[in-house]
């Protein structure tokens, strides 16, 4: 297969992990005989500094022209600490989601046995937890009508029926391929937008008779996730709830540096780690490249290249078993590997496989 990849390294540790993602992509393509080409593009604080726009038109064109986007991270403290800043790196991410029509954000919450001791939850609660959060990504409060003056401010949580239907369809399709259990998370006891979500879900559920659908209020879901994370298989929810719940999800597994995600929708899909740009670690060769590398696995799987994805996952597991790990997940007394060393080890494993 011919693959045209837009690479958006972004800020902080972004460029370092991006390099490892590309190296792994190259190794896999070589092994399986795929032809891959890359177009690099600016985004985030880096793009603001260079061209004054966190998601420049040129970057948008490169993304639209590609088969997939390999995204790393955006964000820089110089903007976080300046509330008057008019342009912010995060706006680049939101612009990318909106312009590429990326309405479905797929965030798997997976545990790695060898990292369970890093979880804030008890081993017996979290071991084996494995669910996917499908977060609606281009609607709700993030993009609804906003107003702000010194006395009053609001964000509108607007959803239309087609927006809800298309994300529920994605969620049902995932549930059909997994354990056939879908939890629709909302706040239908208070919010009108949630009541429409629930109404549409109730209408759609009979079309998927094999899937057990349940409905849960978001506050209850937040609690259930720490009390009994294995309850969940596929969870679907609106933009803001999904933002909050996926941070919770990524930390209960103890492996937040390892979780990839995919955003899909109308145009080119984007694959990226769940973690942020960790500016303090920039240039230190200590950032964990595994979430980025696993997003490359998700990229292959998106194109139904299952063996390619599986080989990457196998290589990542082997690196963990061999204790080839970056400092934050290294076992006590274990040797410390850098970003590039972990990436290289995985590349070598793939070449030898
Ligand atoms: C995420 C992030 C973004 C969001 C920020 C950086 C705008 O937290 O991808 O979850 O809120 O969606
Ligand atoms: Mn978030």
CATH number at 20 reads: 3.40.718.10
Instruction: Tell whether 220 and 194 lie within a shared domain.
Output: yes
The number of the ligand nearest the C-alpha atom of 240 reads 1
Any ligand 1 atom below 6 A from CB of 110: no
For residue 100, give the H/E element and its range.
none
Instruction: Tell whether 76 and 212 lie within a shared domain.
Output: no
Any ligand 1 atom below 6 A from CB of 243: yes
Does residue 142 carry a catalytic annotation? yes
CA of 250 to the centre of ligand 2 (A): 10
Q: How many helices (H) and strands (E) does the chain have?
A: 13, 12
Q: What is the pLDDT of residue 254?
A: 85
Instruction: Tell whether 229 and 89 lie within a shared domain.
Output: no
Instruction: Tell whether 124 and 254 lie within a shared domain.
Output: yes
Instruction: Tell whether 284 and 241 lie within a shared domain.
Output: no
Instruction: Tell whether 229 and 281 lie within a shared domain.
Output: no
Tell me which of 263, 293, 314 is where a domain ends. 263
Any ligand 1 atom below 6 A from CB of 245: no
Q: What is the pLDDT of residue 117?
A: 87
Considering the candidates 46, 53, 187, 233, report the single residue annotated as catalytic.
Answer: 187
Instruction: Tell whether 317 and 350 lie within a shared domain.
Output: yes
Domain that holds residue 137: 105-263
Instruction: Tell whether 8 and 95 lie within a shared domain.
Output: yes
State how many domains the chain has. Answer: 2
Residues 6+ apart with CB under 8 A from 86: none
Q: How many other CB atoms are there within 10 angstroms of residue 291's CB atom?
A: 25
CB 138 within 8 Å of CB 105? no
Any ligand 1 atom below 6 A from CB of 212: no
Per-residue pLDDT of the chain (353 residues; tens, 9 = 90+): 999 999 999 999 999 999 999 999 999 999 999 999 999 999 999 999 999 999 999 999 999 999 999 999 999 998 888 878 889 999 999 999 999 999 999 999 999 888 888 899 999 999 999 999 999 999 999 999 999 999 999 999 999 999 999 999 999 999 999 999 999 999 999 999 999 999 999 999 999 999 999 999 999 999 999 999 999 999 999 999 999 999 999 899 887 889 999 999 999 999 999 999 999 999 999 999 999 999 999 999 999 999 999 999 999 999 999 999 999 888 888 898 999 999 999 999 999 99
Instruction: Tell whether 36 and 141 lie within a shared domain.
Output: no
- Rounded Cα distance between 156 and 239, Å, is 12
Q: What is the pLDDT of residue 114?
A: 85
Q: What is the pTM of this model?
A: 0.94
Q: What is the pLDDT of residue 113?
A: 87
The number of the ligand nearest the C-alpha atom of 94 reads 1
Q: What is the pLDDT of residue 35?
A: 97
Instruction: Tell whether 70 and 171 lie within a shared domain.
Output: no
The number of the ligand nearest the C-alpha atom of 135 reads 1
CB 342 within 8 Å of CB 326? yes
- Rounded Cα distance between 287 and 281, Å, is 7
Instruction: Tell whether 304 and 246 lie within a shared domain.
Output: no
Any ligand 1 atom below 6 A from CB of 130: no
Pairing type for strands 35-40 and 2-10 reads: parallel
Tell me which of 233, 263, 293 is where a domain ends. 263
Instruction: Tell whether 97 and 111 lie within a shared domain.
Output: no
Q: Whose CA is nearest to atom 12 of ligand 1?
A: 243
Q: What is the pLDDT of residue 167?
A: 98
Tell me which of 263, 293, 326 is where a domain ends. 263
Ligand 1 atom with minimal separation from the 243 CA: 10
């Amino acid at each position: 297969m011919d693959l045209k990849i837009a690479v958006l390294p972004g800020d902080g540790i972004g460029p370092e992990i991006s390099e490892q993602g590309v190296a792994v992509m190259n190794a896999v393509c070589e092994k399986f005989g795929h032809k891959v080409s890359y177009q690099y593009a600016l985004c985030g604080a880096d793009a603001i500094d260079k061209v004054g726009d966190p998601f420049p038109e040129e970057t948008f064109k490169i993304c639209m022209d590609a088969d997939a986007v390999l995204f790393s991270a955006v964000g820089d403290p110089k903007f976080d600490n300046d509330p008057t800043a008019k342009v912010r790196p995060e706006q680049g991410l939101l612009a990318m989601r909106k312009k590429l029509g990326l309405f479905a954000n797929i965030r798997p919450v997976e545990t790695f046995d060898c990292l369970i001791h890093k979880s804030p939850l008890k081993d017996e609660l979290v071991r084996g937890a494995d669910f996917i959060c499908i977060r609606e990504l281009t609607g709700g409060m993030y993009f609804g009508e906003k107003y702000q003056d010194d006395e009053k401010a609001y964000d509108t949580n607007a959803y239309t029926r087609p927006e809800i239907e298309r994300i529920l369809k994605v969620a049902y399709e995932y549930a059909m391929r997994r354990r056939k259990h879908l939890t629709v998370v909302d706040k239908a006891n208070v919010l009108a937008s949630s009541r429409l979500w629930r109404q549409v879900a109730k209408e759609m559920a009979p079309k998927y008779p094999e899937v057990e659908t349940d409905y849960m209020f978001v506050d209850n879901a937040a609690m259930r996730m720490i009390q009994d994370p294995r309850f969940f298989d596929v969870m679907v929810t609106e933009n803001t709830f999904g933002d909050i719940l996926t941070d919770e999800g990524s930390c209960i597994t103890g492996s937040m540096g390892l979780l990839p995600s995919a955003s899909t929708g109308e145009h080119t899909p984007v694959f990226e780690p769940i973690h942020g740009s960790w500016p303090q670690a920039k240039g230190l060769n200590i950032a964990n490249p595994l979430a980025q590398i696993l997003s490359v696995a998700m990229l292959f799987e998106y194109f139904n290249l299952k063996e390619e994805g599986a080989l990457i996952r196998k290589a990542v597991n082997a690196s963990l078993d061999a204790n080839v790990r970056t400092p934050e997940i290294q076992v006590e007394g274990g040797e410390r590997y850098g970003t590039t060393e972990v990436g290289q080890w995985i590349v070598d494993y793939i070449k030898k496989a």
